[in-house]
Amino acid sequence: RGLENAEDSIAAKSAFFGNGRSHCLATASDALKDALSEYRKISVEEFSGEKALICTCFGVSEETILELVQKNHIEDAVDIAATCNAGSGCGSCRMLIQELIDSSSVCE
């Protein structure tokens, strides 16, 4: 699901934020998003390799995804996210991850 619904999910499961403390949740959520954004920026700047960087949120390359698909017989982008977090951040790479999985299974 990524981060898009995290704040709502946390608020729904926690009575703590219902007592006039919703600003605390918003502040914590903003801080987390900023930290992940900074981590992403550093990962992209540091990345160097032969293969394409597929998930910039978590710095996961095409090579890593293809290795995991073959090693673990992965058929779904959700399983990749559970294995290495790729696709679980902003979510913009999920379709590309699924395409890699699909093309890998065709080659086998």
40 vs 47, higher pLDDT = 40
| pLDDT > 90? residue 4 | no
Is CATH 1.10.10.1100 correct for 6-107?
A: yes
Domain boundaries, the chain: 6-107
For 2, how many CA atoms within 13 A lie in the half-sphere containing its CB? 14
Task: Please choose, from the candidates 90, 32, 30, 33, the residue with its C-alpha nearest in 3D space to the C-alpha of residue 60.
Answer: 90
Structure tokens at 66: 């293809």
Structure tokens at 93: 């790479």
Q: What is the pTM of this model?
A: 0.57
- 36: which residues sit within 8 A by CB, 6+ positions away? 3, 57, 89
2 vs 14, higher pLDDT = 14
Confidence of residue 80 (pLDDT cuts 50, 70, 90): very high
